[in-house]
Structure 1
Amino acid sequence: MLKIAIIAGSNRPNALNPQVVDWVAEQLAQRGDVEAEVVRYDDFNLPVLDEPVPAGAHMYQNDHTKAWGAKLADFDGYIFVTPEYNHSVPGNLKNALDYVAVEFNHKVGAIVNYGADKGVRAAEHLRLILINTKMATVRDQTSFSIFTDFADGKFAPQAVSSQSFTPMVDDLVLWGEALKGVRERIAEKAAAGA
């Protein structure tokens, strides 16, 4: 069974994000091929990036970074649930992602986004960030409008918006299983060269 982290993309007070995250978790709970867990970066008390060495070197010095990285390393894939702030991802999400890199190598991600224009620019920017960590992202994403998929501050997804979720997760699972094999092959090569 594929282990999927649902990454909550905003910790803003009174944010809509928890409602969308809960919906994603409910959808995944109905599947028999994934084991999902909600992961919130604010549970790790990450300050503004304070690691002296870039994440790609995997030379973490701070306990909060080590804990955040260890948590993320446990998963085969990720679904990022992000709003769009100022035509991009929230600053806190970007900060949390800047802490790590190797944990995402040769794994798969999917994006659920929302905003005034369905959050599509946040998704575009997030893809650029994730590819730098050697993460593959599935093509389809699930996009919600704050005008049509929320009513009086409550998440009420329209069928036209949510219909892409199942095919997106189907691809996430296919890629996730394939990339498990890639990671095993990389580990074999590393062991043979040691």
Structure 2
Amino acid sequence: MSKLKIAVIISSTRPSRFGEIPAKWILDRANERPEIDAEIVDLRDFNLPFFDEVASNAWAPSQNAEAVRWQNKVSEYDGYIFVVAEYNRAITGALKNAIDQAYTNWNKKAFGAVGYGSVGGARAIENLRTIGVELQMVSTRSAVHIAGADFMSVHPGYGGTKTLADIEGAIGNSANDMLDQLVWWGEAAKAARENEAVAKAAE
């Protein structure tokens, strides 16, 4: 089987965001795996409107050209790692809007998450997992949570001077577990999609 193509999606678009730091860290960790070919996908690069289509693209083709460009980008990947900021116990509005701009493009694919904040983005990641169920996706059990004092120590906005490599002891095992599970579910889902495509072509 060919390598899994994985998107590392940065969920915050704020000028002062922290998300690029964990995104680059998990990108390097993912690309150390022989089964994965990962790249960063930045929501800043897509000028998405607030969802304004007549329906999800499960029911009607989207009309907005930027939404279609985003759907095509999502479709390129076998799975995703969401870098999750937590806003008021949920994912960012930018990420929720981006997710809602597509439907079929997410189906039958796997995802993991890296969260950060006072509780490591735990509540936002749980929010994301419930959304993933509706999108017919499978979530890894493990996620990376950059939390508490570790988060403060690596966030420049709080005076942090450490790098994520400095807190590897706190988050490295979680990253390994999440990536192991992403590979397992990603390969299983990819094989199933390919088998389904062959069966449909033979009809």
TM-score range for the pair, normalised by the shorter chain length: over 0.9
Name the counterpart of 1:110. 112
- Report the TM-score when normalising by structure 1: 0.93
Once the two structures are superposed, the pairs formed by residues 91-170 of structure 1 within 5 Å of their partners are 91-151=93-153, 152-153=159-160, 156-157=163-164, 158=167, 159-170=169-180
User: 2: distance between equivalents of 1:41 and 1:8?
Assistant: 6
What SS does the aligned partner of 1:110 have? strand
Once the two structures are superposed, the pairs formed by residues 172-191 of structure 1 within 5 Å of their partners are 172-191=182-201
By how many angstroms is 1:56 displaced?
Answer: 2.4
Closer/same/farther in 2, CA of residues 58 and 172 from structure 1, 3 Å limit: farther
User: 1: distance between equivalents of 2:86 and 2:48?
Assistant: 21
Q: Give the length in aligned residue pairs.
A: 193
1:27 aligns with 2:29: yes
In structure 2, the gaps of 5 or more residues are 154-158
- Report the TM-score when normalising by structure 2: 0.89
Paired letter, 2:58: G
* Percentage identity across paired residues of the two chains: 36
User: 2: distance between equivalents of 1:154 and 1:126?
Assistant: 30
Q: CA RMSD in A?
A: 1.6
By how many angstroms is 1:25 displaced?
Answer: 1.2
User: 1: distance between equivalents of 2:105 and 2:162?
Assistant: 31
Paired letter, 2:190: K
User: 1: distance between equivalents of 2:80 and 2:13?
Assistant: 18
Once the two structures are superposed, the pairs formed by residues 4-83 of structure 1 within 5 Å of their partners are 4-57=6-59, 59-83=61-85
Q: Does the CA-based 8 Å contact 2:86-2:116 persist in structure 1?
A: yes
Paired letter, 1:127: R
What SS does the aligned partner of 1:27 have? helix
User: 2: distance between equivalents of 1:189 and 1:58?
Assistant: 25
What SS does the aligned partner of 2:89 have? coil
1:3 aligns with 2:10: no
What SS does the aligned partner of 1:114 have? strand
What SS does the aligned partner of 2:20 have? helix
Per-residue deviation, residues 53-96 of structure 1 (Å, max 9, x unmatched) = 22322511111111101011011110000111101101111011
Q: Does the CA-based 8 Å contact 1:58-1:101 persist in structure 2?
A: no
By how many angstroms is 1:104 displaced?
Answer: 1.1
User: 2: distance between equivalents of 1:140 and 1:128?
Assistant: 15
What SS does the aligned partner of 1:164 have? helix
By how many angstroms is 1:31 displaced?
Answer: 2.2
Q: Does the CA-based 8 Å contact 1:21-1:38 persist in structure 2?
A: yes
By how many angstroms is 1:129 displaced?
Answer: 0.9
By how many angstroms is 1:32 displaced?
Answer: 1.9
In structure 1, the gaps of 5 or more residues are none
User: 1: distance between equivalents of 2:137 and 2:25?
Assistant: 24
Name the counterpart of 2:156. none
